[in-house]
Structure 1
Amino acid sequence: MDRHEEMTQRIARLEDRLGRLEDIEEIQRLQRMYGYYIDNRLWPEMAALFADEGAAMEIGRRGRYTGKEHILPFLREVLGQGRDGLARNEFINHMQLQGVVTVDHSRQRAQGRWRALIQGSPPPGGTAMLWAEGVYENTYVRENGVWKIALLWWVPTFYVSHPGYESVSFASGPQSDSLPPQAPSVPPVAALGRSFPPFHYCHPVTGEEVVRVTSEP
């Protein structure tokens, strides 16, 4: 093998390695955005993350829903109980940890494993917070050059209700009188009853800005 051929092969290996690292980063961003969307009950935005062909979703023992035309109704009607966005004083924290992403040799499909730790306020009229934990084992596919979710499969380890929701506060300590700030805090969103930092990024598939996270129009 001459030096030119050796360098050509080395460049090809480095390009493939860089491409795989870029794939992993894109898939990690995709999954993290999914977590923030489910936090805020953004069902259409979540459904848009799935592949147009052959997508499927299975959450716990609720069965597997296949096709985007069935995934969005499942999200909205089953998980969301017919409601988009958050109600006043409602919160959900969907923390995705220990992510491991493996891209196959074709760089057209990948697998991802994540551990989800979930906190949620009680349903209307309830007083107990929800705690849950479980594992995602997901499949991703590159569709028209964009990574999307082909299969989202979450297996819960546990669900538990915890009393004491009345003690939850949506604010930190008050403004200091002895060392006042140079400007006041950003005011809370009235429909949420708490502050909400807007998303700085657009949807990774649609490219649209996500601006509304409340149930109120």
Structure 2
Amino acid sequence: MNGRFKGRAGVKRLYIDRFSTTFVKGRNGPVHGFLLDHLQAQDIVDYVPGTNPPKAKGRFRALMSAGTHDSMEESGLPRGLRQWWEGGLYENEYIKEDGVWKIFRLRYYPFWHGVYDKGWQHTPPDYVPPFAKLVSDGDPLGPDEFVQNDERLWPDTRVVPFHYTHPVTGEWVDEVDLRAPLLGTDPLKAKPARVIGDSF
């Protein structure tokens, strides 16, 4: 969304302190009645030639179905019973150290969350709100820094820039073509495209 979590401390704060504690009370494994199917597809991985240590970039689409079963109602869920759809995109970077490929930068851009019973057409704005405060400003589960303060989920449909050129033309996709103007309006007047940030 609009936050960047840095280093091991940031990864722990996001995936363990925020997600694991919130959804499954800290369990590192399955919990009866909790669903989080996370499909990654349309993967494109490119080795970055001439890099030492070796590096690569990868782009993946994500589609999630998530939620809780009625049988969990008595278990004291921090967020209560809920179910949702989610879609997003990964633009990751990898590095090979001591013969092992490792994640160098994991970048997940959620695009939309859909209210399951009504569908994504009726998802309220900021159904999943952007981060409001940094960890340094007092949010113990907040990001280390903001990426873009205008980041919003659906119905914002701006495209995350590609780490590669167009496979047919060999050209980079123009920034204007990554924007999402209101129907029938000038793309040059729309919000700028999303950004990836630091990259090797």
Q: Tell me the TM-score normalised to structure 2 length.
A: 0.47
Larger radius of gyration: 1
> Greater helix share, 1 or 2?
1
